[in-house]
A and B are shown apart, each in its own frame.
Chain A
Amino acid sequence: MTLAALQADFRATVLGDDKHPGFAVYRGTYRAQLMACLTDTFPAVVAWLGDNAFHTEAARFIDAHPPSSWSLDHYPAGFADWLVGQNEAVAAELAAIEWALATSFVGPDEAVLTVADLAGVDWDNAQLAPSAACRILALSGNAAGIWAAIQLGETPPEPALEPQTVLIWRQQQQCQLRVVAPLEAAMLARGAFAFADLCTAAVAHHGEDEGIAVAGALLAQWAQDECMRRPD
């Protein structure tokens, strides 16, 4: 038997149910690693579903989704979509939030726009864009509120269909989360835009009188949050 054939057979054995004690060790370690990875990444989903239901869903996900990345940290990427397919809508959106938090936490380092930068930027030519550690989620329900209540150890609100856009970003090495208004959601969804584009959109949303002030306030908010790339 070639090494390639042996390794294919060994893989099938680890994923199967061979009772040999040695293979049982490999199979047990393999599944325990993946289960721990999912449990650690999705504590709010565990809290929402309960330990047993979460374990059942996670075990089925492990069966259906063998890992394909060299990093175990990448493994939970498909769990939110899996929960959608299992008709666990709230758990799926909680999982999307927690996955966004996990990837934002370790997202690329880069210079971000701060309050101190505002005066020095050439706003006629500068491009604004969310930082690489930003995650923007369009949610169909109030999962952000449920997630927040779970964090605080409070009773979560009843699930409700309340479409929301959530911004997750990293500030001073800590992840932050807030629900954003339609104008901000629309601008963040563009990826990159000029301050003039923000002003135009703000006027379209809020009218001539308020629009420019709203755009200025949003820019100040982003600088305060440190969620946008520092313009060149």
Chain B
Amino acid sequence: MPAPSATPFTARFGLGLRKPHYGEAVAGAMPVDFLEVISENFMGVGGKPRAILHAARAHYPVALHGVSMSVGAADGLDADYLRTLRALVDEVEPLFVSDHLCWTRQGGWQSHDLLPLPYTAEALAVVCANVDRAQTALGRQMLIENPSSYVTFAASEMGEAEFLAEVVARTGCALLLDVNNIYVSAMNHGLDAQAYLATVPFAAVRQIHLAGHSEAEALLIDTHDRPVPPPVWALFAETMARAAADVHVMIERDDDIPPLAELLAELDMARTMTRDGLVARRAA
């Protein structure tokens, strides 16, 4: 790995493509380096959604971010899902294709929610087999994202970051690191976010998510419905002290979506912190 002092500032900054901002995206009027879309919203569909995706793609690189691949499913992957995603990949030629370290299907049931895995040797073998199959079916590397979680399993034999590092080592996949998810899970389970970061194989981290969360009775919930809060910014600064110079950073906002200017202000903050972090690394 090159010495930090020789690292140029090549990080890229983007936003999720959401309905309130379709107009700016199709006009090429969003001052961002890339856009991310939820893959399932555009898989196997024609009409206006497809037209909007194509118009946005004409102006920006687009990352496909999935929520239903279910790489942790003991049942394996859905062949129809993979075929439909591959068709979208071929059409969009995306910057990245990502999904979560979770499971969403079991015995014909679909949860449409990111359900947690026990971090066991058996689950590791299942995830790696599924990621291998997905990367073969898609003809490209995938990025796997760390999820937020609200329960843990006594059966777990390793931590989440260690598990992800093994998935990277065995499958050659890359990582999408969600800083808010690290924070939420650490708070919910009394874990050490710094220790988590110390275990992440940062050479494999291609993309970073920033988001806000809400507080329930005893837990933080990954709701993406408010600005990035100070503790997550602090963890982001620590993350960027380790991230590759060409990492892609974005703000995720899925609910109570504010005017574009507010999201761009958050993105500017991420940009400034990234530049400051790089300066600090060069000085060091």
Contact = CB atoms under 8 A, between A and B. Distances in A.
Interface of A: 1-4, 6-8, 10-11, 14, 20-23, 25-26, 29-30, 33-34, 66-73, 75, 104-110, 133, 170, 173
B283 interface: no
A34 B111 CA distance: 10
B74 to A, nearest CB: 4
A70 B115 CA distance: 14
A2 B122 contact: yes
Contacts of A67: 109-112
A7 B112 CA distance: 14
B51 A173 contact: yes
Interface of B: 40-41, 43-51, 68, 70, 73-75, 78, 80-81, 103-113, 115, 117-118, 120, 122-123, 126, 149-151, 153, 155, 188, 216-219, 221
Contact of B216 (A21, A33, A70, A110): A21
Given A70-B80, A105-B48, A25 B150 contact: yes
Contacts, number: 112
Contacts of A3: 74, 117-118, 120, 122-123, 126
Contact of B78 (A2, A25, A70, A73): A70
17 contacts: A7-B74, A14-B113, A21-B219, A22-B151, A22-B219, A26-B150, A33-B113, A34-B112, A67-B111, A68-B108, A68-B110, A69-B110, A70-B81, A105-B47, A105-B48, A107-B46, A107-B47
Contacts of B41: 73
A72 B81 CA distance: 13
A14 B116 CA distance: 12
A73 B115 CA distance: 19
Given A14-B111, A67-B112, A4 B48 contact: no
Given A2-B74, A7-B106, 12 more contacts: A2-B122, A3-B120, A6-B118, A11-B109, A22-B219, A25-B150, A29-B113, A73-B40, A105-B48, A106-B45, A106-B47, A109-B46
